[in-house]
Amino acid sequence: MDRQRIRWYYACMMHLPTIPEYMLYGETDAFPDVVHCEHIKDRAPDHGWRIAPHRHAQLAQVFFIQTGHATSVVDGQEFELSDNQLFYIPAQAVHSFAFAPNTQGMVQSFPISVLRSIAPANDEVARALSLPFVATPDVKLLTLMTLLDATLADGGPYRTQTALGLAHAVLSLTAARNPNPQGPTGTKRDRRLAQLDQLISDPQTAGWRVQEYAAKMGLSTGHLSRLCRAANGLSASAYIDAHIIQEACRLLAFTQLSVAEVGYRLGFTDPSYFSRRFRAVQQETPSVYRQRFVSQP
């Protein structure tokens, strides 16, 4: 199947069930503010204290469970949350929640543009906020989250500027609470990799080769590979494969698309080749991987 047929196939499949993608949960309208804060009791009860699997393409979120309990599944990994715990979820991660009734706490949502504008630029912050984690917040972080909540509710002067400064502080201190920050010590993540990540996530790039990603970014393939190796120890091809297979895992876990349909959505023209590539990265076939989630509600 050539690229034109892949795009035609993808367009024809848009009616098939896929992973819901929201700004805030259940909402597809424009993001309402520079950052957003709401309390768990304001949304979860309307959904029976269960939030179905979904994702936010452009939002990172920080949850604080003040009292109560919740179970969250993020990209297939289960997290148990209880009193006085902080939970960070990065953009693009597929996640669901089952809250115990009357759980108290808040969730603060940050556009990734806010995260990337933290200054001075610090690659360690980006690495620490690249994967989900549970942590115990300190008094300083909780105070800043409370101030951010109050600022967003206030219509006073310089509200946006104050909220943005508090958002940077909350994200930075959240990163500092990560018990296992990612990435080799001393390496730097080039900001152009954020551009690569966005390109890989765009359905219009399905089936692209490394050369096409590099050309779109104005780089040579060798330069792109050097950036990927410096940040992750992977070639550009392996880096792109890892991102694509991660999306395949999400589609296999959270949709009813067949294995072949998942492959086509991600630009693989041959289902058997997709299965081989998936197995090379995940060490198991797509069908075996999906079996883990069959019994889940």
> Would the pTM count as exceeding 0.85?
no
Domain with CATH 2.60.120.280 in the chain: 36-177
Closest by Cα among 133, 238, 166 to 196: 238
Tokens read off for 149 = 């909540």
Closest by Cα among 70, 108, 116 to 89: 108
CATH 3.40.718.10 fits 3-15+190-291, yes or no: no
Separation between Cα atoms, residue 137 and residue 141, nearest integer Å: 6
Domain with CATH 1.10.10.60 in the chain: 3-15+190-291
pLDDT for the residue numbered 182: 61
- Tell me which DSSP letter residue 75 carries: T
Phi, psi of 62 (to 5 degrees): -120, 120
> How many other C-beta atoms are found inside a 10 Å radius of the C-beta of residue 274?
22
Q: How many CA atoms lie within 13 A of 242 on its CB side?
A: 11
pLDDT for the residue numbered 24: 76
**Three-state SS at 171:** helix
| Per-block mean pLDDT, blocks of 10 residues, the chain (297 long) | 44 56 71 84 94 89 97 93 97 93 96 84 80 96 96 86 94 94 52 85 89 94 88 85 89 88 91 92 90 64
Q: How many CA atoms lie within 13 A of 189 on its CB side?
A: 22
User: Which residues does 178 contact at the CB level (< 8 Å), separation at least 6?
Assistant: 88, 128, 129, 133, 135
Tokens read off for 79 = 């997290």
CATH superfamily ID and name for 36-177? Regulatory protein AraC (2.60.120.280)
Crossing angle of helices 192-201/236-254, nearest 10°? 40
Going by their DSSP bridges, the two strands 133-135 and 36-39 should be labelled as unpaired
Closest by Cα among 85, 67, 79 to 137: 85
pLDDT for the residue numbered 28: 62
